[in-house]
Amino acid sequence: MKKAVLVLLLCASSLYAGDGRLLATGGATQLEGCAGGGIVPWAVLSGYATEDQNGGTAFLTYVNTGDYSLWSAGGAYTFRNRVEVSAAEQRLHLGTLAEALNLPGAELRQQVLGVKVKLLGDVVYTKMPQVSAGVQYKRNLDFDIPKLVGAKSSSGVDVYVAATKAFLAGAAGHHLVLNATLRATKANQIGLLGFGDDYDIVPEVSAAVLLNNNVAIGGEYRVKPDNLAFSKEDNWSDFFIGYFPNKNVAFVMAVAQLGTIATLPHQSGLYLSVQGSF
């Protein structure tokens, strides 16, 4: 999977990205495969295609907290800046927990299929924010451990609505991007520990400042449900820096604060992501 995505990234970087949208307004690729920040979906759609173009992205993301490591890889395709379809596979290596359970090399895998539709507005060109609605179907491929700790199902559907607005020269002369997302979810640890019976409605927010035409800094906060009795599930946050040398490639580095994951507290570490756009 990782080798295939690297090939896609190399191909994407050699192709022409549509020039009708401003650099960085397509965002990065969110951990679950859609356009956004690192941990929060935004209303923007993948790539730089305008209303008369198609385009998309391929991405590879790695997160390491010391006790756990996570790979996420996949891609998204946008039709005429109106509909985005995405796919991602996540692999959580259990590391320290696997050793404690005498399961060396154990991992949890999940596939995510998403659709996002732009409903109204534009992130740059209208006074109102761009508003999009999305659906993510998630399927856990290694359900034995989640079932053992109390998960009710190996699959689930997240539904979200996001609003994103860019304020040109809105932060001491720098471009400012604000995003708010409202998600309905049954997922435990975004689905890597399975799914519960009932939906929770949880908010997520992001903010980014473009220091210049190529560099953005910002932060995100994602409220999470806490459904498993065996271990607390904390909210997530990150502080990131994104580098957009051109419309073909982007790099994101972040420090992620993930709290307690499957009984192991104080999980924080480095988030690295590379994205190719076409």
Mean pLDDT of 270-277: 96
Would you state the pLDDT for residue 51?
84
Q: Mind listing the pLDDT tens digit for each residue in 235-251?
A: 999 999 999 998 899 99
- The set of residues, in sequence order, having a beta carbon less than 8 Å from that of 139 and lying 6+ positions away, is 110, 111, 112, 154, 155
Report how many domains make up the chain.
Answer: 1
CATH, residue 119: 2.40.160.40
Q: Mind listing the pLDDT tens digit for each residue in 80-106?
A: 999 999 999 999 999 998 888 888 788
* Distance (Å, whole) CA 60 – CA 257: 20
- Which percentage of the chain shows pLDDT scores above 70? 91
Closest by alpha carbon to 248, among 14, 78, 77?
14
Would you state the pLDDT for residue 261?
93
Q: State whether residue 56 is helix, strand or coil.
A: strand
Q: Which domain holds residue 100?
A: 2-277
pLDDT tier for residue 24 given thresholds of 50, 70 and 90: low
Would you state the pLDDT for residue 50?
79
Q: What is the mean pLDDT of the chain?
A: 90
